[in-house]
């Protein structure tokens, strides 16, 4: 079914509820349907809705990105590359060129959480007890745990969270706006704070502070296709001749059920001139904050170490760029 407006999409969800799914690029949804993770009775395409694929910028208000903006467009857009290069940096490492041509901003931000014991064929999953994420009562990844530890592995979320982004949701009841950090629940089984009848329409990114630098770094096994196994989105803003930190946000991803800001790093660096010793201390804080488990293609120990390394690299890149 082809939808022509946001209102039509909201009515479609209201009518069909949990039996329905919306898609645009389909790069994550369709493989999951093939594995029978999702089996919607009704499926509708958002791609024909006008004005949801626009990128707009205002000096005072900041950046607005429609939910249907393709990742390839986000990667190549001159305005984003000039003013928000860290967003383009994150977009250009999502999957492969073909996937970026199809995948959208709304889809990448709304990815389902992943787990080695969940993202398998229907036949494979039947060999084990039904996990919490599939409606069971135990987590197979931790040997019978009572909470789902599936990992959120989107690339855009860490850097957009570090930038203080807000996400816009629409339904037949109207529109609401959430902080992107609040969009992720921390519950691996139900990772998104979106209601069944709501549609993601876009995101709003605040104007960057003066003399601010951001970056996105990820660890993955291959240089294309793979989801991140550890990721860091960072923003640092300096001020004055002494280059003192005015604002620091470090968000780690792909090591937990949601992107997580390591707030103690901001508290450590804010108001100080960053030294090598402070960067090492901040990296150690990120190492302690990361708590991956054995449900992805790399060991928890190595992913935890990579978070420490990536945070150190991100902070050093920031200081070199702002010098």
Per-residue pLDDT band for 323 (boundaries 50, 70, 90) equals low
Mean pLDDT of 90-105: 93
Mean pLDDT of 249-260: 97
Q: Is the pLDDT of residue 168 over 70?
A: yes
Domain ranges in the chain are 212-322
DSSP strands (E only) in the chain: 20-23, 42-45, 55-58, 62-66, 166-171, 174-179, 199-205, 212-219, 230-239, 244-253, 260-261
Mean pLDDT (the chain, rounded): 93
Per-residue pLDDT band for 322 (boundaries 50, 70, 90) equals low
Q: Is the pLDDT of residue 320 over 80?
A: no
- Checking DSSP bridges between strand 55-58 and strand 42-45, what pairing results, if any? unpaired
How confident is the model at residue 227, as a pLDDT?
Answer: 92
Do residues 286 and 232 lie in contact, with contact meaning Cβ atoms separated by under 8 Å? yes
How confident is the model at residue 182, as a pLDDT?
Answer: 97
pTM: 0.94
How confident is the model at residue 141, as a pLDDT?
Answer: 92
Domain 212-322 sits in CATH at 3.30.390.50
């Amino acid at each position: 079914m082809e939808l022509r407006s946001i209102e039509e999409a909201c009515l479609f969800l209201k009518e069909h509820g949990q039996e329905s799914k919306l898609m645009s690029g389909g790069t994550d949804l369709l493989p999951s349907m093939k594995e029978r993770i999702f089996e919607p009775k009704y499926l509708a395409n958002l791609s024909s809705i006008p004005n949801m694929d626009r990128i707009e910028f205002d000096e005072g208000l900041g950046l607005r990105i429609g939910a249907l903006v393709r990742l390839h467009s986000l990667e190549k857009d001159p305005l984003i590359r000039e003013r928000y290069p860290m967003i383009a940096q994150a977009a250009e490492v999502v999957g492969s060129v073909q996937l970026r041509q199809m995948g959208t901003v709304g889809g990448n931000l709304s990815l389902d959480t992943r787990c080695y014991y969940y993202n398998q064929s229907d036949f494979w999953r039947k060999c084990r007890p039904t996990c919490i994420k599939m409606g069971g009562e135990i987590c197979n990844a931790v040997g019978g745990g009572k909470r789902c530890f599936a990992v959120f592995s989107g690339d855009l979320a860490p850097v957009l969270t570090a930038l203080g982004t807000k996400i816009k949701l629409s339904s037949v009841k109207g529109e609401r706006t959430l902080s992107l950090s609040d969009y992720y629940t921390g519950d691996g089984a139900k990772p998104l704070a979106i209601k069944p009848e709501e549609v993601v329409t876009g995101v709003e990114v605040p104007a960057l502070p003066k003399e601010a630098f951001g970056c996105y770094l990820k660890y993955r096994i291959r240089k294309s296709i793979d989801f991140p196994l550890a990721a860091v989105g960072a923003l640092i803003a300096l001020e004055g001749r002494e280059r003192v930190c005015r604002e620091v946000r470090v968000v780690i991803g792909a090591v937990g059920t949601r992107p997580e800001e390591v707030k103690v790093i901001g508290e450590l660096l804010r108001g100080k001139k960053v030294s090598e010793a402070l960067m090492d201390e901040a990296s150690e804080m990120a190492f302690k904050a990361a708590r991956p488990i054995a449900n992805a293609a790399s060991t928890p120990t190595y992913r935890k170490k990579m978070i420490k390394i990536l945070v150190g690299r991100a902070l050093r890149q920031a200081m070199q760029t702002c010098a």
